[in-house]
Amino acid sequence: MPKLKDERAERLKLEEKDIAALAFDSSDELELIKKVALEYEGDLTQLGSALGCLFMCKIYGLKVARLAYDARTVAKYEKFFQRAEPDFKFKNYSQELGPLADRSIALRLAKQVGRFWAVVRGEVPGRSPIVDSGIESSVPIV
């Protein structure tokens, strides 16, 4: 049992460059978040979800976020930020694959299938990818 624990601890360690990549790159990004938060009036759970999407894009990358959220939801969340910055797009604030992208089960499954956008659009036939992969988990596959 200790061997499994050691392997998990090793896997969870982040290299220093990965930790640095998790931080926001500039005060402009933090200012954007502040401005959105200050100007927002409405359901705070929606604002929290939009901020969470931004953080997911920064940490895991846009491809993983596209697996977690459908296109309509991403567009809705972009509108939260467009109140503060009219040309805001998540793709301008994140990489395709973020520093922790390889930790996404869904991304690994999409790579196995070999057709990322088909997976995103739900065009891959058959059962749920989490069942088909043989991975049994009670956690979300993203």
What is the four-CA torsion angle of 114, 116, 120, 125, rounded to 10 degrees? -20
Q: 140 falls in which pLDDT band (50, 70, 90)? A: very low
Q: With a threshold of 0.75, does the pTM exceed it?
A: no
Residue 133: what pLDDT? 44
Indicate the average pLDDT of the chain. 77
Alpha-carbon distance 142 to 140, whole Å?
6
Residue 37: what pLDDT? 93
Residue 19: what pLDDT? 63
71-82 and 44-60 helices, crossing angle to 10°? 110
The string of pLDDT tens digits covering residues 96-126 is 998 888 888 888 877 777 766 676 667 766 5
The string of pLDDT tens digits covering residues 3-25 is 556 665 665 666 665 666 666 66
Contact (Cβ atoms closer than 8 angstroms) between residue 120 and residue 66: yes
